[in-house]
Structure 1
């Protein structure tokens, strides 16, 4: 008889256990056993929806329950094996031990408060966050196990797709997020009749993709990144090894939005604005930091992104010293009427004021450290922070750098 089994049985007898544990043991030095999630999405532009099916394709018996925080106005027509029940703003699913799956429809269109879209689908293309396909989910599963996930997308004839994920030879995508207990698709995705340009820059596989006939300058963006991304990578040694940039024209939101390993930039946004700042680099800083701001700390996250948009342009030689200084002067003028940075949401003048504060802090650190450290050290420290960036965490990082 196996010695491990005998020893375990002996312990169970001493402890008064009525049965052997059902959870798979975690063996030190070995990878934990995994249950596999397969997300399958059928894109249906004629209805403006995607039908999504989640199947636990291996070891469903290790999953006790999954709670989906679905939006009733977006996620509907739920079907499932096992049992499920509505509890407030969530759906609690208890999968069966065999043939475990849950299916629903999701509306792709997503409109912001200003009427512009950050999720849109036409008969020829669709652009949205992959997060929209699968609502936020909490999962209870057996101790000592972990999840693995794949994504399969069925497209209309003639469509292609660009995501941030690596692709298996089977055509499925590998979904792997070390920061999540249960992987689900995230980041921007564009599909349909699209044009795509790819380039490897300093170890990062860059993809720029957009629907055709949208006025998106894909090669200009690639050239711009070849010039600036190495500086960004020197600031962030753990810069993502894959980066997806998606773009489209109206009626998409006329701005930029970051997401894991990806960002959206409206086709009309310049890579360098007239005042010398760069929306594209600003969002790349957000991508590199993966930062969420805590209460009254949004000026820190936004101020760092805007400050380093100028720093990257200047250090890479894209922006001359004269234009760099002029940009700081314009931002200082824009933010001079701001009394307090402690707001819930940083915007325009507040972010401009925050840039000046970042420059002051950089000068203080350089002076007190004898030039050995700078705001760069604070940036790198915050980029490795789990959870929210708070005012307290920022102050501590600054003091440590000094």
Structure 2
């Protein structure tokens, strides 16, 4: 693990990726790995043994595991050597014993990186349609494990290694975003811790921006605006925001949404003005990472402005930004459309426009995009606010009936 740069979480992900490639369910967790390391599990399940051999490209016995009969090692392996595997650093042990495995290591090139990115594109598309699903989080995390497994099993140039670390960081960041979107904040924090270290090893400023920007969003959704501003400031201070106005624009727009939580009207206006100015300057044809090209545009800027003004209680401006966001959205952004409509309904309700508010909320599809955890929470809050605002209104009764019928069809 030390030699190939795998943490306990990283090894779990890599083994799960190998299991999935073999057609099995990936069920290895951090706890499973800890049981291996402490000796609590002395002989893993056959599928796990085969996956471990694939990840490390060496026989299971060379990793220090004992067979079920309690023997310390098979006859062909010196027991002293096995004890050495347990007691010394992994790097020293492997350098002493794994030369045959090293000789069999395959070459890893940019074509392997491109193959991973092609798989990543599928996950990005699924996220835009559904968002927040645990399956998306797990798929992204498993893909990160696959990138790290390539690091472990093959020889590669430094450029390719940096690209693989960048892929692993980017995929883990997507797992983090899916967890944020699904309101699984503890899982999101774990993904952030891992993604930030992988990004540092990649030297990729773009992915470092994404991870710290996601951290800002995580803390915003957790109602921790001070931490959110600090994390987003890290993203905004990176050199990539000076090289590419698109990154600068996203940083400013997310800052505006955070300032909305603090009640700072002036900061919201300034941040949105900076975001708009930078977006106008950005070269639409420039080559950028897939993750930012796939979602950030005028519609997303308007959506973040909507979130900011909604938090400020300026419902009229929030509604205006909602309509602009919906008008500019790409057809594939189904999850974003549902979020914008849920916020629009809140803005309309805040102005006392009950009939359009209920109509907007009911227009959100009941498909998986509409069942997104964050949207579900927003509609729950909408219903509570509606009952407080107009407890005896027929529109409130109509909404409650609609909710009950929707729950009955799931």
Normalization by structure 2: what TM-score? Answer: 0.33
Normalization by structure 1: what TM-score? Answer: 0.33
User: Is the helix fraction higher in 1 or 2?
Assistant: 2
